[in-house]
Chain A
């Protein structure tokens, strides 16, 4: 994803800056500093959960930066033979052409496909699957569509996508359902004792039709449903931009263009102490020795942990803002 084309001189200038001691970056950050991240949840009221996230937006005029919009839409799905019980997750990333004005539509499609693949493979992994996506066992379940839209890009798209995805999934509420059981008169035959000779064409050996819930209804309830089970598990990604033995985080477009390879590591932090690596991906052409890779993966855990902690804090804050605070503010209005 070389989105910015820069000259050789510019490239070597950026590289030299990053490798000096102390390192120098164009915006004055140190190697492991992030740009400011802005996050807002509940931005799409018709979705079941949504978030808007931007990295490196100019705080004064709100311009620039990488901006991602994520929304979750739940859809009722009949369980066919090939789908599994307990729901599915499908991720899709689309890139707005305005975010990549220099890319042809074919290249844009490729890019979207690459991003979708990484997101989908990581997030739809069974280890992360929320347990409350089922509606009626073996009949109906929720299909969770997670759609991400990149509206602007200024580097570090993977981290932004994963953060936005986590925020939207955190915000997701699954509508409450109640199973309804229709019982045909047949199932009552043996109970009522009345026998309708003509109706009975089903085999007595056929015991498959044990009465079961066949449909569901939506109970009247005050809120939008329950949160996804295990929402603490949704992972956080960090992209380590590799330059010789050093690495730096949150690259801008120019910085991305001037380093040959990147390592994407995705960790899930269920609690401050428990963590699992969910996915890892090497982007770019350079090779990496195993000891070096191990070291990087270990360091990445530290980064993602702090990201996950602050993201969780922010998300809880957002919940509070959108509910309690808004209500208080509204109450104070008069």
Chain B
């Protein structure tokens, strides 16, 4: 029988024979790499007559070493490192230079890694007859493997330690392969030079480290909307269509380099926006793929490019989706109770048609997603109810409409447009709790004491018939009118008193109010969508009334479904704000202490700042149960429906990973939608300002001036926030001012004396809109008027 010999190193010698190291992958994971070390005892040092290593090979190095050099009369060997070969190859090759040389395998491999031609020349040298070069395979010699002590035990002189590190680095090169450490080193050296060079000129806080991109680890493909520079378009005179031409483009958002060449299959014939598919930094020159379509500039193009930019899906709904709607369409009504109720709509539904329910929404609101009611109970307590349109009745799990809604995630609000998550039949009709029609709803009904303590809460599916649809303003007027004592008015008053108490409680519990001002844009008429003016939205008592009850509903529902489905409950969570968020603000406040902070919003912020940092209130869970505008709400409706036992929970909602995946999409879409909304507001504010400027000129006033607050200071300007318009802007000075980065102040020369401006100071700015020459985009330009006129400098 053949004897089997396993020639593998035993596990017990792992510490010697295995080399383990960690490697970080491009995706940020850490992998452990295991390499076997093939250590041999018969790797000879190549010196003739060596007692340690016996070898019968010819062409050994003389035992005495080279004796030619007069500084080393007792002989010496040359042990060069990689740099010698990289820089002095010609010298080594010279026939006049032939002392005995020991070439380490590590060095040889590093030379190969750095430069293949040099490596080939070196290889040839080791074989040539008139050189005495011995290649020592140091990596494979067993004695080479020694234990490295922990760093703290390193007692060697400093320069020796540095040497050792250098050796380790060389070792690494072999592992890290093609990662291009040449560049790294270059960057390191450059960086250190920059740092040491600038340190004597600038204080450390102003020093700016620099770097160079040496490689792209992960490409982040996305669409960019670019503006094509009209001057760069070649107008071909001949009849043939060029296969491709190059035009210059400017990305709409300047996140990347300001301008780059654009390679197109057929040149667009006019300037305008174009959608570009990819963008890629390659050897410093941006280069990118192809465009799908060209949009003419103008308001529509602006809006569309905005949607593209924020990846908002805005195509109309397809047939498969529309087929999921009730076939009756606009004519759909709640069937009468009893035998005509073929779809069993009334099953488990409470009849709340007689309850005095009303809705309060912004003016012109078409998707009335919530309605409220309140009434006194005989026992002195108050019954309050929040009714939310029952969208889950129409959107059944796992049909095309559901999938589309899940992909869209949320309804996107732009200034003049709304991108629906669900077909508008649902949003603006069947799921809109319009007055005087019967609608399906989800109701949460509380019994509260007069002090707004919750006695009980129940959830039910219901059919309601709203008695009125108010705007915030109408509701407010109705509430304040002392002559009105009808049921509806009393109900609003009751809700209002409860809301005030609920809010007081919430504030006492440490809730943080960090709202920025909302801006309302007046449009000329529904058709033209030319904005006339912009003003800050007014907040009435009734706004907070609705808000408070939605919050209450959210919290109650969240508790209920978390109880029922602890694994998959869809909850909204607010983590306590991290302390570091406010560190800079704290620093500014501390340094500019003594200035009165008359900005109400930032004042409130400062006050709540202490509160949230000290109190450390635990995260506060609410549910996204605000109607049906986000897909998460649809999920919540389904869960709640299952929690109250009216329908079984769909299988997908039992799977945690499925819910997580869906919510990832929803959260991303929501963020994008918010950004798109904000960008849309910004665009319209720009247009409105332009309109206002023109009006002002027509009336003979010089320009638009607004109060603003300084929020940042720079060497050559200040950042200001115009709270009335809700926009931020920059005031740039052409020349430098005295800038104090530590104290956030700048000093500018005034009419008589120097004026100091610091963060949170109130200033007056002149606002103009000028068109960017290239992108044709209106851009807000601000100049300081008070305390000093900055147009002079």
Contact = CB atoms under 8 A, between A and B. Distances in A.
Interface string B572-586: 010100101111110
Given A45-B14, A46-B32, A197-B732, A191 B205 contact: yes
A7 interface: no
A205 B585 CA distance: 8
Interface stretch (A89-97, A115-123, A214-222, A307-315): A214-222
A148 B72 CA distance: 63
Given A210-B581, A327-B147, A193 B715 contact: yes
Contacts of B18: 45
Contacts of B205: 191
B611 interface: no
Contacts of B712: 190, 204
Interface stretch (A73-81, A163-171, A274-282): A73-81
Nearest to A185: B208
A207 interface: yes
Interface string B709-752: 00111111101010000001010100010010100000000000
A215 to B, nearest CB: 7
Interface stretch (B20-28, B94-102, B298-306): B20-28
Contact of A207 (B208, B584, B715): B584
A107 interface: no
B16 A330 contact: yes
B580 A210 contact: yes
B678 to A, nearest CB: 10
Interface in A179-224: 183, 188-195, 197-201, 203-205, 207-208, 210, 212, 215-218, 220, 222-224
A43 interface: yes
Given A76-B30, A204-B728, A326-B14, A190 B581 contact: no
A218 B578 CA distance: 27
B168 interface: yes
A194 B23 contact: no
Contact of B13 (A210, A223, A330): A330
Contact of A327 (B16, B516, B578, B716): B16
A200 B731 CA distance: 12
A131 interface: no
B694 to A, nearest CB: 23
A322 interface: yes
A285 interface: no
Contacts of B605: 205
Contacts of B30: 74-76, 175, 218
B12 A45 contact: no
B281 to A, nearest CB: 15
Contact of B16 (A208, A222, A326): A326
A292 interface: no
B156 interface: no
A195 B714 contact: yes
Contact of A75 (B29, B147, B208, B585): B29
Contacts of A46: 32, 34
Nearest to B730: A197
A193 B172 CA distance: 40
Contacts of A289: none
Given A183-B209, A191-B206, A215 B20 contact: no
B578 A138 contact: yes
A195 B730 contact: yes
B631 to A, nearest CB: 18
B87 interface: no
B172 A204 contact: no
Contact of A334 (B41, B581, B711): B41
Contact of B714 (A190, A215, A222): A190
B256 to A, nearest CB: 11
A45 B34 contact: yes
A198 B254 contact: yes
A194 B716 contact: yes
A334 B39 CA distance: 13
Interface in B1-54: 11-16, 18, 20, 22-24, 28-30, 32, 34, 41
B169 interface: yes
Contacts of A74: 30
B695 interface: no
Given A204-B719, A323-B15, A191 B578 contact: no
Interface in B391-432: none
A134 interface: no
Contacts of B578: 138, 208
A187 B181 CA distance: 28
Given A195-B732, A327-B147, A43 B11 contact: yes
A42 interface: yes
A323 B148 CA distance: 12
B375 to A, nearest CB: 40
Given A42-B14, A175-B22, A327-B15, A208 B148 contact: no
B260 to A, nearest CB: 15
A192 B206 contact: yes
A302 B783 CA distance: 80
Nearest to A322: B15
A329 B29 contact: no
B602 interface: yes
Contacts of A327: 15-16, 147
A142 B713 CA distance: 40
A48 interface: yes
A218 B602 CA distance: 42
Given A48-B32, A189-B714, A212-B580, A81 B730 contact: no
A16 to B, nearest CB: 45
Contacts of A220: 168-169, 172
A210 to B, nearest CB: 5
Interface in B600-619: 602, 605
Contacts of B168: 220
Contacts of B34: 45-46
Contacts of A81: 573, 575
Best-surrounded residue of A188, A197, A212 (most CB of chain B within 10 A): A197
Sort A-B residue pairs by CB-CB distance and give the 6 closest, nearest first: A193-B715, A204-B711, A222-B148, A207-B584, A204-B712, A175-B22
Given A193-B715, A326-B16, 18 more contacts: A42-B14, A47-B32, A76-B28, A175-B22, A188-B208, A191-B206, A191-B208, A192-B206, A193-B206, A195-B716, A200-B719, A204-B711, A204-B721, A207-B582, A207-B585, A210-B584, A220-B172, A329-B13
10 contacts: A140-B28, A183-B209, A190-B714, A192-B208, A193-B715, A195-B717, A205-B585, A215-B28, A326-B16, A329-B13
Interface of B: 11-16, 18, 20, 22-24, 28-30, 32, 34, 41, 142, 147-148, 150, 168-169, 172, 205-209, 253-254, 258, 516, 573, 575, 578, 580-585, 602, 605, 711-717, 719, 721, 728, 730, 732, 736, 739, 741
Interface of A: 42-43, 45-48, 74-76, 78, 81, 138, 140, 175, 183, 188-195, 197-201, 203-205, 207-208, 210, 212, 215-218, 220, 222-225, 321-323, 326-327, 329-330, 334
